[in-house]
Each structure stands twice: as structure tokens, then as C-alpha cells.
Amino acid sequence: MKNRFIVNPDLCTGCRTCELACSFTHAIEGLRGQTRIYPLDGGFKDLWIPVVCLQCDDAACVKSCLVDALRRNSETGAIDLNQEVCVKCMACVAACPFGCSVVDQQHKLVVKCDLCGGDPACAHFCPTKALKWNPIEPQTRKVAV
């Protein structure tokens, strides 16, 4: 993985553009898809936290998948969910401790963040640069989500 998400909650206005960008990027046959990113209330005044998949190294979702539908993409570093292989048993949805495998009710699918193939739309469209997709540098360790 060469890049990672950098979140600066101080800049986040909770405008939910990231959610829209995600949803439109993952549209299926013209119908907008389930968002994989959730700007949520951080519990303090004007504090928003965009919650998105961390692509864990030892991921619970990968471990929970009994049919090997979840695999790490060596190019993007994302854990990709192969929809063709997924049997919709919901094990990953239940297992992820961050709630980042979600159900797309409209299309009856299980979905998770795939980093948009290497260029995440959420970060791309974030108007305040609260969410950035930056190269990994040791110094930029602020709040890395």
C-alpha cells in the first residue's frame, strides 16, 4: 500500500460529499449504490468523523469469509470483495469490528470499500480536504483512519 487515508476531523464540516461521491461511484446500472463511507457525529460540537474501512492487516472480514470472497488486492492494497464469489452469509458484516462491511439493501449485496481501484472518490471530492489520500510518510502520522 503506497497511500493511506489521512483524516483531519478539524476540517470536516459534515457536508457528506464523500458519502455522495462514494454512492455515485458505486452505482449499479444507474442506481446509486450503498455508500461505504459514513461521516458520523464524533460526540462533540461540530466534530465529524468520516468512518471508512481501514483495510486491516489481519482483517476480521477476511478471516470470517468461508468462501474466500475477500482478498487483498496487491495493487491497491484494498481488501476487495468479489461479488461473484460472495454467498451473502453476512459473516463479514457481523465480524468487522468497525462496521465497514455493509449491506446494500437495494441491490441485495454485501459491499465494502475497495478504494475505488486506487483513487478513492471520497478523498478526491472532499471540499475541505478533511479526508486525504496521501502517500505514506512517517511524519504525517496524525489521526490516520
Shortest approach of other proteins to residue 72 CB, angstroms? 16
Residues forming the site for other proteins (CB under 8 A): 7, 9-10, 38, 40-44, 47, 49, 51, 60, 63-64, 66-67, 69, 82, 84-91, 93-103, 143, 145
Q: Which residues are registered as beta bridge partners of 28?
A: 31
Place of cell 451473502: 88
Shortest approach of other proteins to residue 75 CB, angstroms? 19
| Sign of the dihedral through C-alpha 32, 33, 34, 36 | negative
Shortest approach of other proteins to residue 52 CB, angstroms? 10
Contact between 4 and 115 under an 8 Å Cβ cutoff? The reply is no
2 vs 88 by CB, closer to other proteins: 88
CA distance 64 to 92: 6
- H/E run at residue 125: helix 121-125
11 vs 20 by CB, closer to other proteins: 11
117 vs 119 by CB, closer to other proteins: 117
112 vs 116 by CB, closer to other proteins: 112
CA distance 77 to 59: 12
Shortest approach of other proteins to residue 116 CB, angstroms? 20
Contact between 53 and 62 under an 8 Å Cβ cutoff? The reply is no
2 vs 106 by CB, closer to other proteins: 106
Shortest approach of other proteins to residue 48 CB, angstroms? 8
Would you state the cell numbers that stand for residue 77, as one nine-digit string? Answer: 492494497
